[in-house]
Structure 1
C-alpha cells in the first residue's frame, strides 16, 4: 500500500521521507538468507524446523547420548577430530555409547578428518578401535556394524594445508546435531569451567591442556593405557581363529581387553607419524609418552562452545552434506550410502526457518559430484562468509560475536617495524631457549632460501571486519536518528598452545593487527569514524577522508577509551587454589557464533579467518536461524518491549548468564542481570566493561605470566607487556641472546617445580563471573611476525611437496586469495 492507502503498482517502490526529503532508515532492507543469485550456496532455507541449543559439552553430550540410545537404524558422525575414548559424561566414553548402539543392530558411520603431520588427532587410532567393535558384534551375533572412513581434504591448491572442519551427527536420518563441538578430548564441560583435571572421571588425554607440559608419569604397561597401534597388524587385527576360538593371543586382543575394562588412549610423542597405520599396517612408529596433567598442581583448560539439535526439513541438507562427503571419501563400493532425502520428506517439527551453509573448495565439490551421481554442486562455496556480512549489515541495535578467531582484512600493517623481529620474536623463532618445538623445526626446514617477500606481504582478505566498520559508520555518522549500536565480541586469550610456538605467536600477531594495530583495525577504524564525526560537526567538507584514506593519521588524536561506546572486547578466565598453589587458565572460546538483535543467529564450525570463510581452504558447516516463534523483550532498556525471536534471544541470554557466572552461582556477577536482559542499553555495556576490568585488574595483580596491558615488573610498569609477559629485553641470559624471561612461564616444566607466588591471591575471591577485558596494549611496539610457511599464512599456488606442513583451523590463521565477489571499500 502507498502512503495514502492506494494499492501499489507492480515494480513501484515507495520511500518514506522526512520533511527535508531525507529517507528513513529501512531496518529490514538487507537480505538475511544467502541467495543462489549471489553464490553457489549449498542449500536454501526451509521452514518448520525445531531447533534446540547447547552452551556446554555436558548439555550437548547428555542429549546426544539419549538420542543415540533410542536410535533404530543409523548414526552418522563427522568431525575434525573424533576420539574413541572421548569422555562424553562421567563414566561414558564415545566407545561405550557406540558399542551399545551397535549391539542393538544400529549401523554406525564415523568420518574424522584424515590428519596430516605434524597435526595429531588420533584419527587412525580411532578407526582401529571403533572398527574392532565389529569383532565383538560378530561373536554376539549382532546385525549392527561400525564403519570408519578417514576423510582426506580436497582443496584446489595447497591441499596438505587444509582440513575438514565440520562437526555434525545425524541419527536415523531424522535428528541432526551441528555446531562447534567435536566428539573429542576436552569438550565435556559445564557452567563451572572447573580447572581441576581429575574431576568427573577425566584421565589421560581427557585432561586437556595443550598450553602446558603434562607432568604426571604413568607406567606405559598399565592396564588402563591402550595403544591402538598394537592392534594394527594383520594378525593383531584378527588373530588366528579356528572354529571361533583364538589359537594366538594377539596384542590386539590384549588391547581390546583394556578397552573393555575402561582403558584410555595413550598419548604419542610429537610429531605423530599419523599415517603409519594406513601406509604399513604391520609397523607401529608412534612413540608412547605416558604422561598426563598432574591433578595436584596443574589446571585443565576449560571449554566454551555452542552446538544445536535440529529436527525437521533442514535435516535434509545436513544429511546430504554427510552422504556427499562420505561417498567422496570411501573407495569401497559396498560402503557407499544411499542418496539423501528431500526436505519434503520431513515432517514439520517447529517454527524455525533454517538455512544450512558450507565453506568448501571447488575441488571438494567436484569430488562429491563425481562420487554422487545427480549432485549438482561443483563450484566452491563460501556461504558462511556471505551470511556473516549480511547479518552485520542487517543489525539495528547490537551484535554478539563469540569466536575462536578474529582475523580479517585490517588494511595496512601497524605497530612495530615489520622488517626486524623484536628480541622476544627472535627468541621464539630460534627455538625458545631450547624448548623443543617440532612445528618450528618443520618451519625452518621449509624456509630455506631467500624469503618470498611478495607473498609474505600479503594479508588476510575476508570482509567481516569491513562489514562491522561499515555498520558502525552508519551509527556514528548518522544525522537522523543516531541510534545507539554496540558490538560485543568474546575471544580466547590466545590460540590453544604455548606462546613460544611460532604458529601461536603468528596468530597472536594477526589477531592484534585485526583488533588494534592495523590501519583499519576494529579499534583504529572506530577511532577514524569518531574523528570523522568530530570533523563533520565542525563543518569540515572532506570529513570522511580520515576514514577512507589509510595515510590520514588524524584519528590518532582520539583516545582508545572513546571506542568503548561502540565495542566491548572480552576474554574468559578462571582460577583455582590447588592447596596453596594458585593458578589461572583461560577458558578457551571455541564457539563460532553470531547473534544479531536477539533475532537472528548463525552458529557452526566456521571461524572468523580466511581459512574458514573464503572457500578454497577448510570445509565448514553452519546454520543460519530465524525463529518464527517471537516474543517481546526490553532489550534496549527503555521500558518498551521490542520484538525478538525466541531461539536467538534465549541462546544469547543463556550464554551471558553462563559467562557472567550466574548459571553456576560460582562467584556470580549478579549485578550484570540487567545487561543480560537489556544488551542494547548503554548502561549494559558499561556495566559489562566495568566488571571485566575489575576482574582483569585482580588477575593481573595475582599472576605475572598472563597476557596483559602493562609489563608486570614495577621497574617497567609504564611499558606494554610483551607476548611473553615476563620477558625482559635487558636481561642477560646467554651468549648472543638479547633479553630473557625474568620468571618462568607455564609452558616450561620448571614453572611447575615449585609453588608460584601469587601476591594478589587474597583478592581472587573478589572475581565475579568469568569475563576479563582483552588487553589491547599487549604486544605493542614489538614485531612478532615470524616468517611462516606461506601456504598457511597467505595464498599461493605452490604445488604440494613432501615438506609442506598441513594447516589446522584450530592452530593457524590467515590466507589471501581474492573472494568471488569484490569486497566493499571502507566507507
Structure 2
C-alpha cells in the first residue's frame, strides 16, 4: 500500500507544474499534428514512421517434395508463416481443399513500427511454406520475401504468385497480397478490410452495462436492462429463436422481483407454439450425464440443458471443439454468446456481447456481495473464487459485463453466423438432430431480411474468430481461419487519436516483445500496439491515455495452477508495456510526465458489511467483508467513436481464430459534418461516461477529456485511495465507486513488481505476479 501511495505522490509532484498548461490545451490535445512518428520496438526513443501492414495468403500450387524429404501427400499438413524482420505476425491454419494445392484465404494485420528499426514502406515480408507434422513438428519447405505495395484504399488488393526459394525439402508457389498504408491515412477506414462480413450502415445499437441497470447514471439516458430486454424479445418472437452460448442455464430467471417462467420453460413454450427454437452450446467433455461430474469442471450445465430439452420441441445441440485432439479438445471451447429472434414488426433482434444466459450473471452496477443473498440472488448464488462459499453466508461473486442489442442489416449477419454454425453441426456433436434446417433469411415470410431499415445512426461490422471446423463451408473462397476480431483491434489501435478504454476478462499478449527469456507463444499484437501508439504520442508531444480494467485475478482460486500461470502472462505483458513507456519518456527527456499519465491499469472491487453470527472458521473475504468484482467484459472504446463488443478476450485463445470460437461487433457512431471535432457527445460517449460513473463513483467533467493527463491523474489518485480502503483492516470506509489501482508498482528504473507483500488480499498463497505451471501454454494463453 505504501508503495502505491508513494508512486502516486511522485507522479503528482513531477507533473504539477504542467497542469495549468494541460488544462488550457484540453480541448485541442489529441488533434492531428501531421506527424505519425513512433518509436521502434528495438530502438526505444528513435522515431520511425508507422504503417499499417496487411498480408493475405490465398493458396499454394505446384507443390512438390524433393530429396530425402519426399513423403506421401496423405500425411501432408501444409501451413504458411508470415514474418516481418524475423518476427512472426501470423501463422495460417492447415490448408484445405486438394492437399497438393492447399487453400488458406487468411489475412494478417500488423503495424510495421513494432518490428522495424527504421521506417521502410517497402519493408520485406517473408513467407515460409511449412509442413506441420503431428509427430515431428514444423518442417520448412521453402520461403521467399516480397515488398508490399502502397494501398490506395481499404479494398486495393492485387495478389501475385511467388515461387519459394532456397528449397531444401520441397517447392511450390504461393499466391499472396500485401499492402501498407500510413496509419494516419487509415483513420478514415471505418470498415476492417478482408473481413467475412462488410460494414453495414443505418443500424440501431443498444448498449448495456451489466445485466440490469435500472437507474441511469446520466439523467438524459434511458435505463437499459439486458436481461429484461432479452425476455421481452424472446417472449415477442413470432417465427424463430436461435441461441449460441458457452453456457445456457435452463433455470435462469431473466427477471427479478417479477413473475416469469424460467429460460428453459420460456424456450420450450415458444417451440410448442410453433416457433423454430434452436440452441447451440459448447459440449464440455468433462461433464458426464448422470455422474458426479455431470456439471463438468467448468459448470456449464451442458448435459443438464440437453436433458431438459430432450422431450420438448426445442432443438438443442451440444458441440465440442473439433480440430483438436486429447486434452486440447476438452478445453478449447465454443465461446460465442448470441440470441437472435424475429419481432412482431418483422425485424430481427440480435444480442451480442459477454453475457451468457447462465447462473451468476445477473447483477447490477452496485455489485453487492452479501446484501442480495436473501433476495435478488436467493436462487442464483454463484461463487468460483472462494473455497467453501455458501448461499447462506456468501460471498457471492459480483459480475460486471458488457452486452449489446443490434437491429438492422448487421443483425442479419448475426443470423447468418448462426445458420452457418447450425449447418456445420447437423451431422456432428450430440443432442437432437433438427428436423428442419435454419433457412436463409430471404426465405422467411414477414421478416425484412437484407432489406431491414437503414435509418439508424450506427455503422456496424460483424467480426469473428473461427475456423473451418465450426462453420459451414461455401467453397474455396472461404477463409480457412477467420481472425477479423484481432485484425480490427490492430486497425482501431493503429488509428486511435486521443484515448483507448479497455475492459476485458484477460489481458495478455505480444510475448515476442517481453523483456524475459520466457516466451509462451502469445502472438496477439494488442499490448505492443497500445504501447507503440502511446510512444508515438510521446514523440509527437500529443496527449494520449490508455485505460485498462481487468479482474483482480482470473476466475477460480487465485493460488491454483491455471490462474497463477495466467497471472504470470499478464504480469509479463504489463511489465513490457510499462518499461517501454518509461524508456521512451527518458529517451525523449520528458520529465513532467509519468508512465501513469499514459497507461492506467485497474481492477474493480467492493466492500460491504459482512454477515454476523457466522460460526466457525471464516474465509478472509467473509471476515473482512470484501470481494473482487469479476470483470467479464470484452470491450474496447476508441476516441468515443468506435466500440468493439463481443465474446473475445485479449489472449490468443480468443484472437488466433483456431482456438476458441468467438463473435464480436465493431460499431461506429461518428457525428456527421458540420459537428465539431472531438470531444463530442453521442450515445457512445455517454455510454463510456456511464461506465466511468459506475467505476469511479460519479461524474467528473475531466472524464469528458480522457486524453488529458489531469484526467489520468485524477483517476489514478481515486484508484489508489480505493485500494487503500479495500485492503484496510477497518471496513468502515466505503470505496468511491469500485475502481482500484491494480497492485503493481515500478522501481526507479521502470521495472514492474507486485505491491506490498506480493500476495492478493485474503489469499496468502496467491502471488500477484503469478507463477509458471506445467500446463500446456496454449491452454493458459
TM-score in terms of structure 2 length: 0.64
**Other-structure match for 1:46:** 200
CA-CA distance at 1:31 after TM superposition: 5.6
**Other-structure match for 1:149:** 317
Q: CA contact under 8 A between 2:646 and 2:663: conserved in structure 1?
A: yes
Distance 1:531 1:784 in 2: 29
537, 542, 545: which one pairs with 1:486? 545
243, 249, 263: which one pairs with 1:77? 243
CA-CA distance at 1:192 after TM superposition: 1.2
1:226-245 correspondence to structure 2 within 5 Å: none
559, 562, 578: which one pairs with 2:610? 578
Is it true that 1:660 corresponds to 2:717 in the alignment? no
**Other-structure match for 1:29:** 186
CA-CA distance at 1:199 after TM superposition: 4.4
Distance 1:127 1:407 in 2: 34
477, 481, 484: which one pairs with 1:380? 481
**Other-structure match for 2:341:** 171
CA-CA distance at 1:338 after TM superposition: 1.6
Q: CA contact under 8 A between 2:511 and 2:519: conserved in structure 1?
A: no
**Other-structure match for 1:405:** 506
Q: CA contact under 8 A between 2:285 and 2:320: conserved in structure 1?
A: no
CA-CA distance at 1:30 after TM superposition: 3.6
Is it true that 1:323 corresponds to 2:424 in the alignment? no
1:526-545 correspondence to structure 2 within 5 Å: 526-534=581-589
Q: CA contact under 8 A between 1:657 and 1:676: conserved in structure 2?
A: no
1:203-242 correspondence to structure 2 within 5 Å: 203=378, 206-214=380-388
The change in CA–CA distance for 1:28 and 1:646 in structure 2 (over 3 A counts) is farther
Instruction: Please list the CA deviations of residues 378-420 of structure 1 after superposition, one character each: whole Å capped at 9, or x if unmatched.
Output: 42011011101111111111110111110011446558xx8xx
Distance 1:676 1:412 in 2: 32
**Other-structure match for 2:458:** 352
Distance 1:31 1:377 in 2: 27
**Other-structure match for 2:774:** 788
CA-CA distance at 1:169 after TM superposition: 0.5
Q: CA contact under 8 A between 1:630 and 1:646: conserved in structure 2?
A: no
**Other-structure match for 2:169:** none
Q: CA contact under 8 A between 1:631 and 1:645: conserved in structure 2?
A: no
What's the secondary structure of 1:191's corresponding residue? coil
**Other-structure match for 1:89:** 255
Distance 1:57 1:190 in 2: 7
The change in CA–CA distance for 1:105 and 1:598 in structure 2 (over 3 A counts) is same
CA-CA distance at 1:788 after TM superposition: 2.7
The change in CA–CA distance for 1:375 and 1:168 in structure 2 (over 3 A counts) is farther
- Greater share of residues in helix: 1
**Other-structure match for 1:254:** none
Distance 2:198 2:374 in 1: 44
TM-score in terms of structure 1 length: 0.61
The change in CA–CA distance for 1:585 and 1:152 in structure 2 (over 3 A counts) is same
CA-CA distance at 1:601 after TM superposition: 0.9
The change in CA–CA distance for 1:202 and 1:687 in structure 2 (over 3 A counts) is same
**Other-structure match for 1:364:** 470
Distance 1:625 1:26 in 2: 20
- Greater share of residues in strand: 2
The change in CA–CA distance for 1:594 and 1:457 in structure 2 (over 3 A counts) is closer
Distance 1:589 1:789 in 2: 24
Distance 2:494 2:463 in 1: 18
Deviates more, 1:168-177 or 1:593-602: 168-177
The change in CA–CA distance for 1:533 and 1:155 in structure 2 (over 3 A counts) is farther
Distance 2:532 2:487 in 1: 15
Unaligned 5+ residue runs, structure 1? 1-14, 135-144, 216-292, 419-455, 538-557, 634-639, 663-671, 703-759, 795-806, 815-827
What's the secondary structure of 2:553's corresponding residue? coil
Instruction: Please list the CA deviations of residues 405-458 of structure 1 after superposition, one character each: whole Å capped at 9, or x if unmatched.
Output: 10011446558xx8xxxxxxxxxxxxxxxxxxxxxxxxxxxxxxxxxxxxx853
What's the secondary structure of 1:318's corresponding residue? helix
Distance 2:35 2:500 in 1: 27
CA-CA distance at 1:340 after TM superposition: 3.8
Is it true that 1:111 corresponds to 2:280 in the alignment? yes
1:640-651 correspondence to structure 2 within 5 Å: 642=678, 644=680, 646-651=682-687
The change in CA–CA distance for 1:461 and 1:378 in structure 2 (over 3 A counts) is closer
The change in CA–CA distance for 1:677 and 1:181 in structure 2 (over 3 A counts) is same
The change in CA–CA distance for 1:43 and 1:299 in structure 2 (over 3 A counts) is same
Q: CA contact under 8 A between 1:409 and 1:463: conserved in structure 2?
A: yes
1:328-343 correspondence to structure 2 within 5 Å: 328-331=424-427, 332=433, 334-341=435-442
520, 526, 536: which one pairs with 1:458? 520
The change in CA–CA distance for 1:401 and 1:457 in structure 2 (over 3 A counts) is closer
The change in CA–CA distance for 1:335 and 1:123 in structure 2 (over 3 A counts) is farther
The change in CA–CA distance for 1:643 and 1:583 in structure 2 (over 3 A counts) is closer
**Other-structure match for 1:301:** 397
The change in CA–CA distance for 1:344 and 1:579 in structure 2 (over 3 A counts) is closer
**Other-structure match for 1:564:** 596
Aligned residues, how many? 537
**Other-structure match for 1:472:** 534
Distance 2:35 2:582 in 1: 31
**Other-structure match for 1:700:** 727
The change in CA–CA distance for 1:42 and 1:154 in structure 2 (over 3 A counts) is farther
**Other-structure match for 2:377:** 202
**Other-structure match for 2:493:** 392
CA-CA distance at 1:579 after TM superposition: 4.2
**Other-structure match for 2:731:** 761
CA-CA distance at 1:309 after TM superposition: 0.6
Q: CA contact under 8 A between 1:32 and 1:391: conserved in structure 2?
A: no
Distance 2:419 2:578 in 1: 43
CA-CA distance at 1:346 after TM superposition: 2.1
**Other-structure match for 2:638:** 596
Distance 2:694 2:416 in 1: 34
Distance 1:676 1:189 in 2: 25
What's the secondary structure of 1:611's corresponding residue? helix
Instruction: Please list the CA deviations of residues 131-159 of structure 1 after superposition, one character each: whole Å capped at 9, or x if unmatched.
Output: 44x2xxxxxxxxxx311111222336744
CA-CA distance at 1:522 after TM superposition: 1.4
CA-CA distance at 1:650 after TM superposition: 2.1
Is it true that 1:625 corresponds to 2:611 in the alignment? no
Distance 1:383 1:99 in 2: 35
Deviates more, 1:51-60 or 1:524-533: 524-533
Q: CA contact under 8 A between 2:284 and 2:330: conserved in structure 1?
A: no
**Other-structure match for 2:56:** none
CA-CA distance at 1:32 after TM superposition: 3.8
What's the secondary structure of 2:665's corresponding residue? strand
Distance 2:280 2:712 in 1: 42
Distance 1:74 1:474 in 2: 49
The change in CA–CA distance for 1:785 and 1:412 in structure 2 (over 3 A counts) is farther
CA-CA distance at 1:129 after TM superposition: 1.2
**Other-structure match for 2:226:** 60
Instruction: Please list the CA deviations of residues 593-634 of structure 1 after superposition, one character each: whole Å capped at 9, or x if unmatched.
Output: 11111111111011100111111111110001112555999x
CA-CA distance at 1:100 after TM superposition: 4.2
CA-CA distance at 1:176 after TM superposition: 0.5
Distance 1:457 1:189 in 2: 37
